[in-house]
Amino acid sequence: MTSIIAPFHDAAGWERALYAFLAEKERRSGSRRTVEGYSRMLQHFFGSLGKPPDKVTGQEVFAWAYGKGLSGKEPSAVTIGARLACLSSFYRFLIRMEIVASNPCDQIQRPKTSPSPPKGLSAEQIQRLLSVVPDTATGLRDRAIILTLTLTGRRRSEVLNLKAVDIMQDGGLFYTYRGKGGKQGKRELPRPAFEAIQAALAAFGKDLASMAPDESLWPSGTNNGRGVSSGTFYCNLRRYLKRAGLPPAGVHILRHSAAKLRRDVGETVEDVSRFLDHSSLAVTTVYLQRLEGQEDRSWGKVAEAIGV
């Protein structure tokens, strides 16, 4: 990352704070993609403003958050919210480190957004999706990722960050992962996902027994064991969805699908909550209400009362 605070007084101190913030963000989120997005936004803000963080005003934050981007278009409410979330997160870090005393983002009102309701794929749609994945090394790897995401319900970063050392076959078949907030977990690895992983590794000339512990489960053939990038898999998934005649979606649709399919086969909200690793049952309840639609058990009585 290029320097964004170099022209400022005590530039080295600000740079260290910035790198420390991004390192903490990656450790807590487990997502390199998130860190790269935050880095780009912070570079754009401080690079164009030309001021150190302790000299920034709320008016300058407002102008940047609501201003036109490189495309020349007015930002959407989602974009404005993302900009403010990034900058505010950086300032909260600086306050915790006792580097600055206040957060200029606190003066800015966030725009109201109406998130589109999440959707999950049905069992038949998952079958259609898998049917269009090619029988190549890359296709076998992507099929293994899709199956692992769908059968485990794990988040994108939790699956794409899996390495050879995370698979354990002593006393059963398990995988370990680092969840949201750095939480460590150990779960049974569904047999179909494991078999798909083995087939994908074999297509790349690899097998678990001989792989280095820190080698990715998802080889790309071009990046020295680091595995396929989140962006590459996202683009591949979008192509597969299009080929299968399914609506465009992000990788998170597979986590939604995992929850939906569990409910479809009769699991309780409590079961799904444990499966998704949610922090509370209330979180899962809201998640499923948005995914499934909240059931209204009283409309029939009201309709009967008014004679319709």
Comparing 113 with 148, which gets the higher pLDDT? 148
- Domains with residue ranges and CATH for the chain: 11-107 (1.10.150.130), 123-252 (1.10.443.10)
Residue 214, classified by CB atoms within 10 Å of its CB into exposed (0-12), middle (13-18) or buried (19+), is exposed
* Partners of 178 in the β-ladder: 184
pLDDT on residue 240 = 97
What tokens appear for 88 in the block? 């505010």
**Mean pLDDT of the region 4-14:** 58
- 207 versus 109: which is more confidently predicted? 207
* Contacts for 72 with CB less than 8 Å, ≥ 6 apart: none
Residue 97 one-letter amino acid: M
Strand bridging mode 174-178 / 184-188: antiparallel
Reply yes or no on whether the pLDDT at 214 is more than 80. yes
The answer on pLDDT for 245 being more than 60 is yes
Res 194: pLDDT: 95
Residue 272 has what pLDDT?
Answer: 73
CA 136 to chain centre: 26
**What pLDDT is stored for residue 283 in this prediction?**
61
Confidence of residue 84 (pLDDT cuts 50, 70, 90): very high
Q: Which long-range contacts (CB under 8 A, 24 or more apart) does 186-192 make?
A: 187/152, 189/152, 190/147, 190/148, 190/151, 190/152, 192/147, 192/151
**Strand, coil or helix: what is 230?**
helix
Residue 1 pLDDT more than 60? Answer: no
What is the predicted pLDDT for the residue at 27? 79
pLDDT exceeds cutoff 50 at 156: yes
Q: How confident is the model at residue 32 (pLDDT cuts 50, 70, 90)?
A: confident
pLDDT tens sequence across 160-174: 999 999 999 888 899
**Residue 9 pLDDT more than 60?**
no
